[in-house]
Amino acid sequence: MKSLRFAILFFSAMLITPSFVVAQENMSVGGLVSASSYIGDFSSAFVMRYPGVYVGGLVHYSMSEYYNLRIGLGAGNIRSDPSTHEGRLASNVSYQKPTAFNQLFFDIDARLEFGFMPYDPLEHDPKKQAFSPYFALGAGVGYSRGAPFVQFPVAVGARYRIAYRFTLGAECTLRKTFNDNLDGWENVRISSEKTLNNNDWISYIGVYLTYQLSEKGCCHD
C-alpha cells in the first residue's frame, strides 16, 4: 500500500510543479477506453475470450516530432469463465476449487513513446505529419486484491491527427506484472518438489483521444 501511495504522490507532484505547468505548451491531455484481459494460471496465451473493460486518462508531453513522454492512470477489470477450462489450469494442473473471477484493478504508469514517423498535432496541413506508428516502454504500479504490484508496460500503436490539436490513437499494450495473484491463484504446486510461480500479465486493446493544450508546441516557435 505504501508503494502505491508513493507512486500516486510522485506522479501528482509532476503534474502540479511549476516547471511542469510551464511545459504545458508541449502537452496533450485525453482519455482512453480499452478491452482488457490477462495471461496467467487460467490463460496461457494472448486471447481476449472474456474481455473486461479498462478506462483511464493520460497526459502526453511532446519532446520532439518522434518522442513523447506519457503518463497514464486508470481502472479496469479482468475475468474468466471456469466452464471453458475443463478442470485444469493453463499449466495442466488439476484444480479443486471454483475458478471464476471478475477482478477490479487500478494502475498508474509512465512510458516513453518512440515514433517511427514525424508527428505534429499542430500542423495545419492535413496531409503533413498527420500519422505515425510508435513503440513504447515504461514502468508503473498497480493495485488489486488489497495489495500493490509493480508493472512494466510494452505497447505498439499508431496515432492520427483527426483535426487541428486533436489526435486519435489505437494501441495494443502488454503489462508484465510482478504479481501472481490477480486471478486468485498464487504459487500453484504441481508436485511435492516444484511450484509454478508465473507472474500474471494484463493486456489491452483500445483507442484514445487527446487534445493539445497550447498552440505553441515542441515543433513550433
pLDDT at 185: 73
Domain residue extents for the chain: 2-212
The H or E element containing residue 109 is: strand 101-115
Q: Is the pLDDT of residue 95 over 70?
A: no
Residue 101, strand partner residues: 80
CA dist 127 and 130 (Å) reads 6
Q: Is 87 left (phi over 0), alpha (psi -120 to 50) or beta?
A: left
**Whole-number Cα distances in Å, 110 to 6, 14, 76, 215:** 14, 11, 18, 24
- Residues 153-169 have pLDDT tens digits of 999 999 999 999 999 99
Task: Report the mean per-residue pLDDT for the chain.
Answer: 80
Helices (DSSP H) in 38-108: which residue ranges?
A: none
Q: Burial, 133: exposed, middle or buried (Cβ in 10 Å; 0-12, 13-18, 19+)? A: middle
Residue pair 173/2 in contact (Cβ under 8 Å)? The answer is: no
Contacts with 206 (C-beta within 8 Å, 6 or more apart), sequence order: 32, 33, 34, 35, 54, 170, 171
Of the listed ranges 73-82, 113-122, 169-178, 190-199, the least confidently predicted one is 190-199
How many residues can be counted in the chain? 221
Residue 147, strand partner residues: 144
pLDDT at 102: 86
CA dist 164 and 212 (Å) reads 9
Contacts with 142 (C-beta within 8 Å, 6 or more apart), sequence order: 4, 105, 106, 107, 108, 148, 149, 151, 175, 177, 179, 202
| Mean pLDDT of the 190-194 span | 51
In the chain, the amino acid numbered 84 is T
Residue pair 54/76 in contact (Cβ under 8 Å)? The answer is: yes
Give Cα 87 distance to the centre of its chain.
31
Q: Which residue has the higher pLDDT, 176 or 216?
A: 176
In the structure, what pLDDT confidence band is assigned to residue 85 with cuts at 50, 70 and 90?
Answer: very low
pLDDT at 220: 59
CATH architecture of 2-212: Beta Barrel (2.40)
pLDDT at 125: 84
pLDDT at 70: 97
| Mean pLDDT of the 55-81 span | 93
What cell was used for 48?
A: 481476449
pLDDT at 180: 83
Give Cα 135 distance to the centre of its chain.
13
In the chain, the amino acid numbered 94 is S
